[in-house]
Structure 1
Amino acid sequence: MIAQVVPVLLAFGSNLGGRGDTIRAAQRELAAAPGITAFEASPLRETVALTLDGPDMHAPKYVNGVARADTTLTPHELLDVLQAVERDFGRVRDKRWGDRTLDIDLILFGGRVIADDRLTVPHPRAHERDFVLAPWLQLDPHAVLMGHGPVAALLERVGDTTAPFSEEAAT
C-alpha cells in the first residue's frame, strides 16, 4: 500500500528560554522525522503573550512562526510526533494558554476536517490569530485558510500586532 502524501501547516510558539533557537531546533527535528518531507519554515515574528484573559504585557513575549510540509502520517500519528517534540523541548501542560518553552499546533491537514477528543483541524482559532496569519502570509502570499478565506484578508481583519524577530540578535 502506498501512503498518501498530504500537505500540512504547523504553527510554532515559544515564550520561555531561547525562543527562536528552540523553534528552529524543533523545526529541524520535525523536518528530519520519518513521514515528513518538503519542510519549509516562515520567518519568525514576535508578539505579546496571549492568555485566557487577553494580551498580557507583563508576560514574556512570544516568538511565533509557521511551517508547511508534506506528510505520509495520519493526523493522529503526526499529532503524536508534534507532542513528542514539544516534550523533548521541555513542554509542560499545566496551565491552559500558559507560558511555554514550545507549542506546536496542527493548523491544516490537507483538506480534511477533523474533530475528536484529541484534535480539531482546521485549528479553531487560527483565523483570529495574527501570530499565525502574519508568518503564514510571509511564507505564502496566496495562502487560504480552509473555511475562512484568504490569509491576507483575515490578517487585515484582525490586524497585525506582530513584529519581525531578529534571529541573528537572538543567538
Structure 2
Amino acid sequence: QRASTYQIAILYLSLLCTSIGAGGSRPCNMAFGADQLELGARRRRSANGGKAPMWSFFNLYFFGIELAKLTAVTVVVYIQENVGWGWGLGVPTIAMFVAVIGFVSGYSLYVKMPPGGSPLVRLAQVVAAAFKKRKTVLPDPDLLYEDKKLDAGISTTGRLLHTNQLKVL
C-alpha cells in the first residue's frame, strides 16, 4: 500500500524537524558538556598539583554516541524483530525519558556560561564577507599552505589533492 500525500507530508516534516533539532543541539551539547568537564578538570589539576586529566570530554562524547548507535542497531532491532515493534519503539522512548529526567534533575549543578553575543550578528557577518568576496580571484593551488607531516594521513604522496568541486563560478 502506497503512502498517502498526507503521510508523505508528515514524513518530510518529521525529517525537517529532526535535521533542525540535530543541527541546533549537537554543537550546543558538545560545548555545554566541555564546559562542565573543564571546570572539573581545573579542580582536579589544582588537587593533583597541576596535572591535566588523561581523557577529554570529546573522547567520552563520541564514545557515547557510537555506543548508542551500536545499541540501536543490535539491541533495539533485536527487540523489534523478536518481541514486537511496540517494545522496539518503547525502549528508546523510555531511555530518552530517563535521560531527560537526569538532565533536568542536575540543572542546579551545571556551569552556565553567559552567551557571547548574538548568533544572528555572526551569521550576518559571514554572509556579508562571502558576498563581498564572491568575485575574488582564487589563488594558485601550488602556493597554498601544506604540511607534509600533518597531511600525510589524509592525502596521497604527502599532499592534499586539489579539487574544483567547491569552486564558486
TM-score category (smaller protein): under 0.3
RCO higher in structure (CA 8 A, sep ≥6): 1
Q: Which has more helix, going by share of residues?
A: 2
Query: Which of the pair has more CA radius of gyration?
Result: 2
Superposition TM-score, scaled by structure 1 size: 0.23
